[in-house]
């Protein structure tokens, strides 16, 4: 009590000094005093307190104004503040009285007019009607607010493309503050996808809010014609949501002086865009065209060019491409019938990180069939240019060859007249292909001890069986929990209560009153919600009489619950508690939780 008296005396002295400073700084405004009442948010949530500010401007009352009885809500006085400002030498004093208002049911909350007396003059505020959301409605509103913290878009540089043309799609992620951003999935049915690259990071201001923008480049190439969907793109990230455990629900509310925030994981999905894919023209299609689409350049070399008939020639084609390289292959050359050709090998050397431009090198071994060949025929490569909308053909001239006869291909020998051709040698006798079997096996080596004769071998066979039975029992238990959500929630709440009680003991030892009663009220709501099959956030003091009386709860136990609810609210919003009070509240909570667990479920 001495501490409370000192605080009140100190605040009164501070207010007096502030008014004296205002008087000395300049004349006070001569306008009539005004009274306004307002909440610190646009809507309220059942069970979550909000701040109602009653503000006087142009004068101060002698005592805090009385807030009328609110239907469907509880109100607690939480202190006052004074603000002084001077405009053009005229001083104005504004005094605010703050009340915590906790709604008890969804719908509309009406705050009647508040009347007070200032310097002998009666002033009245306007009545307030504010919407109160249920837990489900608040969760939906919170999801909408979170969607303004981060989202993803898919952008296409054009609305039309040809079949096989590479289109650089952009995946842009907007976030106020993001961590661990990952492109989880990108769907594009009917397209060949390249490798996504995070190549750009920037900042943009949208609706007076600064966003970090991360851009992924994704090259895509259509495999079929028609109007094809591009997307959606799906990303995962962690966003920073400003919080204040007692008053804040709007993620865009201003941070408090300590800059506290909560990291929350999010999965964001973009809208689906569409790309109109056009077929390739059917007129004037070159003979050597095999599906290449883009812009290409070509260089051809061959060697050796001075060789004997039957020796191989390495034919090398280097194609510089702006387009897809994976499906690029050498066209068949109809003028190479006098050469024996072998399958070509290919190697891709990308120049850009997106894989949209690079070099593909083909090497093919060809062998001339005879010595009369004088050149490698011209090499032709045809492709479709999507920018020009027409087919083009690259041609490299013939390469001269000097092919000499093979020395092994000599003429048949001749014999002089009267000479006899050499006689053939008699055939060799057949060999004995079957070797003689050894009549003796030799010395036998003694083998190691046989495992199957050891006792531990049979024990080891029981290990996998035991592991299989353990996994089977664990899976049966998980299936049973999945079929019985009430049982699963009961176990989760029991674990939450055990952890929370340990935390309460630590908070009581440290004397952290506000955090202690926050945790106490949360545990009590979760236990009541499990018994009544209701969300914990929707539990208020009114359910004690509305829901627990039909379950047969004794009157004395319900009165104790009322008392603990009021103790928590009073401690959170109206003042300090001693260490002895914390210990008593902890013992009372443990007793009530044990009694609630014995009640039948609703």
Give the Cα separation of 539 and 521 in Å (integer): 10
- pLDDT at position 247 is 38
- pLDDT at position 119 is 81
Q: Which domains, ranges and CATH numbers included, belong to the chain?
A: 2-133 (2.60.40), 143-277 (2.60.40), 285-404 (2.60.40), 485-597 (1.20.120)
Kindly state the tokens that stand for 68. Answer: 């009328």
Residue ranges of the chain with per-residue pLDDT less than 70 = 1-31, 86-89, 143, 147, 199, 242-260, 351, 353-355, 407-450, 481, 572-579, 602
The alpha-helical segments, DSSP class H, found in 26-80 are none
pLDDT digits (tens, 9 = 90+) for 83-125: 877 666 677 778 889 998 989 888 889 999 888 888 888 888 9
Kindly state the tokens that stand for 387. Answer: 């920018």
- pLDDT at position 227 is 93
- pLDDT at position 377 is 87
Contact assessment for residue 258 and residue 295, using Cβ atoms and an 8 Å cutoff: no
- pLDDT at position 571 is 76
- The distance in angstroms from the start CA to the end CA of the chain is 44
- pLDDT at position 423 is 54
The candidate with the shortest Cα–Cα distance to 323, out of 383, 275, 379, is 383
Kindly state the tokens that stand for 365. Answer: 């071994």
Does residue 575 have a cis bond before it (omega within 30 degrees)?
Answer: no
- pLDDT at position 408 is 54
pLDDT digits (tens, 9 = 90+) for 523-539: 988 888 888 888 877 78
The alpha-helical segments, DSSP class H, found in 484-578 are 485-510, 513-532, 543, 555-574
Contact assessment for residue 171 and residue 152, using Cβ atoms and an 8 Å cutoff: yes
- pLDDT at position 228 is 94
**Packing angle, helices 579-597 and 513-532, rounded to 10:** 10
């Amino acid at each position: 009590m001495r501490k409370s008296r000192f605080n009140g005396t100190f605040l009164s002295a501070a207010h007096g000094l502030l008014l004296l400073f205002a008087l000395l700084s300049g004349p006070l405004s001569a306008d009539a005093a005004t009274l306004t009442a307002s909440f610190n948010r646009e809507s309220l949530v059942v069970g979550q307190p909000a701040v109602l500010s009653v503000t006087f401007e142009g004068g101060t009352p002698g005592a805090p104004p009385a807030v009328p009885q609110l239907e469907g809500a509880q109100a607690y006085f939480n202190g006052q503040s004074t603000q002084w400002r001077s405009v053009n030498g005229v001083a104005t004093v504004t005094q605010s009285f703050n009340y915590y208002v906790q709604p008890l049911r969804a719908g509309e909350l009406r705050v009647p007019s508040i009347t007070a007396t200032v310097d002998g003059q009666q002033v009245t505020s306007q009545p307030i009607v504010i919407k109160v959301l249920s837990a489900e409605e608040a969760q939906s509103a919170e999801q909408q607010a979170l969607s303004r913290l981060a989202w993803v878009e898919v952008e296409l540089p054009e609305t039309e493309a040809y079949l096989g043309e590479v289109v650089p799609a952009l995946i842009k992620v907007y976030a106020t503050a993001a961590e661990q951003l990952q492109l989880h999935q990108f769907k594009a049915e009917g397209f060949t996808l390249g490798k996504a690259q995070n190549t750009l990071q920037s900042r943009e201001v949208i609706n007076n809010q600064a966003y970090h923008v991360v851009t992924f480049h994704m090259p895509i190439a259509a495999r079929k014609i028609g109007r094809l969907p591009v997307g959606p793109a799906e990303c995962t990230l962690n966003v920073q949501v400003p919080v204040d455990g007692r008053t804040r629900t709007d993620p865009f509310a201003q941070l408090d002086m300590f800059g506290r925030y909560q990291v929350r994981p999010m999965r964001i999905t973009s809208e689906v865009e569409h790309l109109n894919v056009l077929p390739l023209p059917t007129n004037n299609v070159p003979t050597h065209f095999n599906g290449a689409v883009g812009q290409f350049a070509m260089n051809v070399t061959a060697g050796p060019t001075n060789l004997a008939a039957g020796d191989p020639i390495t034919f090398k084609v280097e194609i510089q491409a702006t387009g897809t390289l994976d499906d690029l292959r050498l066209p068949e050359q109809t003028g190479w019938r006098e050469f024996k050709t072998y399958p070509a090998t290919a190697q891709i050397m990308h120049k850009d990180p997106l894989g949209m431009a690079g070099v593909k090198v083909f090497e093919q071994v060809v062998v001339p069939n005879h010595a009369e060949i004088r050149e490698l025929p011209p090499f032709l490569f045809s492709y479709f240019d999507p920018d020009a909308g027409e087919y083009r053909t690259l041609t490299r001239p013939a390469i001269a060859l000097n092919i000499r006869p093979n020395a092994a291909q000599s003429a048949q020998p001749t014999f002089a007249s009267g000479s006899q051709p050499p006689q053939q040698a008699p055939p060799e006798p057949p060999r004995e292909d079957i070797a003689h079997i050894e009549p003796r096996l030799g010395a036998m080596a003694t083998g190691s001890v046989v495992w199957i004769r050891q006792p531990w071998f049979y024990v080891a066979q029981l290990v996998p069986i035991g592991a299989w039975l353990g996994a089977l029992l664990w899976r049966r238990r998980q299936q049973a929990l999945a079929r019985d959500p009430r049982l699963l929630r009961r176990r989760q709440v029991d674990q939450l209560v055990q952890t929370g009680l340990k935390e309460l003991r630590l908070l009581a030892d440290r004397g952290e009153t506000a955090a202690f009663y926050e945790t106490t009220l949360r545990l009590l709501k979760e236990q009541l919600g499990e018994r009544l099959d209701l969300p914990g956030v929707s539990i208020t003091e009114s359910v004690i009489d509305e829901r627990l009386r039909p379950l047969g709860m004794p009157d004395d136990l319900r009165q104790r619950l009322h008392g603990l609810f009021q103790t928590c609210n009073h401690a959170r919003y109206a003042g300090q508690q001693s260490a002895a009070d914390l210990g008593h509240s902890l013992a009372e909570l443990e007793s009530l939780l044990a009694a609630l667990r014995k009640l039948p479920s609703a």
